[in-house]
A = this chain, B = another copy of it.
Amino acid sequence: MILLDGKKTSADIKEEIAAEVTKIIKQNKRPPHLAAVLVGEDGASMTYVKNKVRACEKVGFESTLIRLKDSTTEEELLQQVHALNADDSIDGFIVQLPLPSQINEEKILLAVDPKKDVDGFHPTNFGRMALEMDSFISATPFGIMQLIERYEIETSGKNVLVVGRSNIVGRPMSILLSQKKPFANATVTLAHSRTKNLKELSLQSDIIVVALGIPNFLKADMVSEGTVVIDVGITRVDDPSSAKGYKLVGDVDYDEVAPKSSHITPVPGGVGPMTIAMLLQNTLLAYQRYQLS
């Protein structure tokens, strides 16, 4: 069994990005610049955004954190988005979700210039991804595709089961893995809450991607010997024995499934750490494609 080590792989990617920034600086150009907008005081959101800003600093990017009060109106946030769209010194930006209830999230996401949409949430980027044009792929699917490529997992003609049809993970994974290109070209089935014969399907699969958010959902009796298992779930479960009072649990019953797998992502340390690395990668891409000034 080979561990798909997201911690190590994401560190490799960040090193490659840092080397790229060093080259850029040597050419007397400004480094890539990511901005993040955080509305309100949600604890988890604050942690996520701070981690993103810190990651920018580590690879040599400029970063700007824009904090707006919880009572910010939709109109005020739209103004902020328009200002970031127009600011040539910023290559890409994200609006941290969730937003307070007075703000329509879809309206905000649609206002982001697709050329700066490094989260890859705008329908133009989703469509460009699906139609195999240059785009920004959302961090989680992009990170999984990187793990598959860097561990040289054979996917062509393989039967892949993606469990979960969310717009930010399951749906794009099902599209990316079935496209006609290297580290894809798989026969993909997308399963979800209405799927009736999940166990039958999972037993037939060479590769399973689980993105449901249900702790320990995938059990050993659902997996054939030699399967590649990618676990996108990450749920906090009470754990009085840990200092934090909780532990992070994936959608895969790791202890049961790992011995049967050919490759498997742990939780934590699998898909999770890849996401910030891919946000940085998208920011570098935005810089290279559109700004480079």
Q: Which residues of A contact B (CB under 8 A)?
A: 106, 122-133, 135, 156-157, 159, 165, 167, 171, 174-175, 178-180, 185-197, 201
Contacts and interface: CB of A to CB of B under 8 A. Distances in A.
Given A122-B127, A128-B123, A192 B167 contact: no
A123 B126 CA distance: 8
A182 to B, nearest CB: 12
Given A127-B127, A165-B179, A185-B192, 17 more contacts: A123-B124, A123-B131, A125-B127, A126-B130, A126-B131, A127-B129, A130-B171, A132-B167, A157-B196, A159-B197, A165-B180, A174-B190, A178-B190, A187-B191, A188-B189, A188-B190, A189-B190
Contacts of A185: 192, 194
Contacts of A129: 127
A174 B196 CA distance: 18
Contact of A196 (B126, B179, B187): B187
Given A127-B125, A130-B126, A165-B180, A190 B187 contact: yes
Given A156-B194, A165-B178, A196-B157, A128 B130 contact: no
A254 B258 CA distance: 47
A180 B192 contact: yes
A130 to B, nearest CB: 6
Contacts of A180: 165, 192-194
A156 B192 CA distance: 11
A37 B180 CA distance: 31
A263 to B, nearest CB: 20
13 contacts: A123-B127, A123-B128, A123-B133, A125-B127, A126-B126, A126-B127, A130-B175, A165-B178, A165-B180, A171-B175, A174-B190, A187-B191, A187-B192
Nearest to A133: B123
Q: Pick the 9 closest A-B CB pairs, nearest first.
A: A127-B127, A123-B127, A126-B127, A189-B189, A187-B195, A123-B128, A157-B194, A124-B124, A157-B196
Contacts of A127: 122-130
Contacts of A194: 156-157, 180, 185-187
Nearest to A195: B187
Nearest to A159: B197
Contacts of A189: 187-190
A195 B178 CA distance: 10
Contacts of A106: 133
Contacts of A128: 123, 127
A246 B203 CA distance: 46
Contacts of A190: 174, 178, 187-189
